[in-house]
Amino acid sequence: MIDRDAALALVKAQNPNPGLLAHGRQTEAVMRALAARLGHDPELWGLTGLLHDLDYPATAATPEQHGLALRSLLPEGALPAVALDAIAAHNDEYTGHAPATAFDYALRAAESVTGIISAAALVRPDKMQGMAAKSIKKKMKDKAFAANVRRANILECDKAGLPLDEFLTLAIAAIASVAAETGLA
């Protein structure tokens, strides 16, 4: 399996915009926290989160390829098949690769929750300081707020093994841990 430094270098080699790089790092943090909480491999889950949008700079105009084309960008054996399946499933609306495992659902929930938490942090005077699950749940009900965030994917956290309140609390803490490096401090 690829190591984290090599994975991050691979992501940066695709010339992602700063927002996409921050999203990948936040997704990695949430996935690592989820894995630790649910008894899975934090390294595997974290690397999957970091790499899940590796092909996005090349597939933005062809969404049906997003999550599939990254296989050609990864070195042989960089990620196991379960990780590649989770990455394909995070964009099942276009790839047709339906989520089936807790890992698949975790990635979908994790990568989606970063958008609403980041948007909430950017409109708060204290950014991530003091953010609570209750405030994110309220933002989720406002369809105009962070309108592109797939709220249904966030709600799949229960299929990954955590109820919504616990998932949001975990995600907020994970994103707060990388806030300085992702523009949310």
Q: How many residues does the chain have?
A: 185
Does the domain at 4-182 match CATH 1.10.3210? Answer given as yes
**Cα gap 101→117, rounded to integer Å:** 24
Q: Report the candidate in 94, 101, 82, 105 with the shortest Cα–Cα distance to residue 30.
A: 105
How far is 181 from 25, CA to CA, in rounded Å? 9
Q: What is the pTM of this model?
A: 0.97
For the stretch 123-163, pLDDT in tens is 999 999 999 999 999 999 999 999 999 999 999 999 999 99
The angle formed by the CA atoms of residues 166, 170 and 172, to the nearest 5 degrees, is 115
Give dist(CA 92, CA 145) in Å, integer. Answer: 23
